[in-house]
Amino acid sequence: MSSKQPKYEYVSTAKLPTRMGDFKIHGFVEASGQEHVALSYGEWKEDDVVPIRIHSECLTGDSLFSTRCDCGFQLEKAMQNIVDNGHGVLLYLRQEGRGIGLLNKIRAYNLQDSGMDTVEANEHLGFDADLRSYDICKLMLDTLNVKHVELMTNNPKKLAALKALGIDVVARKPIDHGITKDNKNYLKTKTEKLGHAFDPHVFK
């Protein structure tokens, strides 16, 4: 028998009451020690199409109410959409700053304050524009018995990543929410350079 440590592992589940409704929180860990969680709401059968959101951690937007991105707005909107739908899953992945980490994100913000866009700033620091991985999503969804999904995202790369993992993505649902004067240029850059799909009204 191989003693090789599994790449990803499910840890535990607990109740998580929130302002939006009563979720369950499910813990997962990578062999590297990086921890991720999934939030589930309601019940479903194996053949049901389940609304999901893959949300990458953003301390500044999710917890500190920053308006220079749309992350916190999208997190709240996705959770509310799941509750309104009656069931669904939010996968919360610990990959801050599109994978460069919190302190490097602050360095990138400093460069953006000087005139660079978000892609230029990441590349100036020596990183690719987007370093995120979605491989753990397969284990998370399998653990929660989710086989068919409606994906809430503006990022077609997430859709392609799930399909490559063998997950049946039935539909993509846009999640344009939280557009502010502080993040319009950021969203425009994500559209033009990273392929995100936003309604054109966002930039008017």
- Annotated catalytic residues are 130, 132
Burial 159-176 (b: 16+ CB within 10 A, else e): bebbeebebebeebeebb
Q: Residues at the annotated binding site for Zn(2+)?
A: 58, 69, 71
The C-alpha atoms of residue 125 and residue 191 are separated, in whole angstroms, by 21
- Sign, Cα dihedral of 46, 20, 84, 70: negative
Residue whose tokens read 């990803």 = 8
Q: Residues at the annotated binding site?
A: 53-58, 69, 71, 74, 96-98, 118, 153, 158
Q: Which two tokens stand for residue 28?
A: 């997962």
Q: Residues at the annotated binding site for GTP?
A: 53-57, 74, 96-98, 118, 153, 158
Indicate the pairing of strand 168-173 with strand 148-152. Answer: parallel
Q: Which two tokens stand for residue 9?
A: 């592992």
Planar angle of CA 61, 63, 69, nearest 5 degrees: 5
DSSP 47-77: TSEEEEEEEE--IIIIIS--SSSSHHHHHHH
Q: Which two tokens stand for residue 187?
A: 């969203």
37: nearest Cα among 173, 144, 128 = 144
Q: Which two tokens stand for residue 189?
A: 């850059």
